[in-house]
Structure 1
């Protein structure tokens, strides 16, 4: 058994697996609750999300970003990524783990790997947001040393009510 591994996406097949995971993540969000569905429907309309998936590799390209793929016994089960949003600042996006891999440590391992890579890339701070309803994600980020903060980018009116914002100094 290969166990849990996290590695940088390096081939088109890896990127295809990440895109599939990202679409699963969107579906997960749409089905989580009415409130989350409202927020996702607003920011990740299908056409907008498809356009994002088309430029995913460019948006998170090395050396200013990265896309990581988590595998359990060689099967893709999760992903996470970051990109540069300002001098010394990276933003973590789309950390997602399939239901079948929840409880295996995949989310923690992915998040630690993102932090380690961002530190190695010279970032001084990582920012992220998550749904107010994702209590498990909030606990994970707090366990990793992230501190709650206010929004770090401009948001559409009324959108702030859906999210919790975090940062960690590296």
Structure 2
């Protein structure tokens, strides 16, 4: 998927290296969030060890640099979860967040999802508007299972058996 020279592609260790790690670390620093190489944040250092093949995507700049990322997991029972949607500040406002989100929705639907969920820190208000624009609805609040108990909103998208979003 490509537009304006930006591409959304599956993560490849040889090509993208620690690009997702650098993106998430930069966004966490921007918001003053703690970030660590081990445990809770290890999935963005080695996406290939935490996500099924092809289920962790990156957004590349026209120069081939990783400027964003997103992941998808199968949680069982027809429920899938969107993880780690992050974009560097310079990459925002170009439609990349929506492209990454819609690609994960497509992948989940093709994998037979009945429900797609995500959790997002309460500080990411712009992302919350994006999720709602893409068809998610805010459905709950939680304290995240991270070491610092972040406050998060939960979002959900339900699918009909035909593969269309439920209304």
TM-score interval w.r.t. the shorter chain?
Answer: 0.7 to 0.9
Which residue number in structure 2 is paired with residue 67 of structure 1? 56
Instruction: State whether structure 2 residue 154 is matched by structure 1 residue 169.
Output: no
Give the aligned partner of residue 113 of structure 1: 103
Aligned to 1:4: 6
Relative to total residues, which structure has the larger helix share, 1 or 2?
A: 1
1:56 to 33, 40, 47: 47
Instruction: List 4+ stretches of structure 1 deviating above 6 A.
Output: none
Shift of 1:91: 0.9
Per the normalisation by structure 2, the TM-score is 0.78
Task: Specify whether residues 123 and 165 from structure 1 end up closer, same or farther in structure 2 by C-alpha distance, changes over 3 A only.
Answer: same
Unpaired runs of at least 5, structure 1: none
Matches within 5 A, 1:77-96: 77-96=67-86
How high is the TM-score relative to the length of structure 1? 0.77
* Larger relative contact order (CA 8 Å, sep ≥ 6): 1
Give the alignment of 1:21-170 within 5 angstroms: 21-33=20-32, 37=33, 41=34, 44-49=35-40, 51-53=42-44, 55-62=46-53, 66-75=55-64, 76-150=66-140, 155=145, 159=149, 162-170=151-159
Structure 2 portions without partners, runs of 5+: 160-167
Q: CA RMSD in A?
A: 2.8
Q: Report the count of equivalent residues.
A: 156
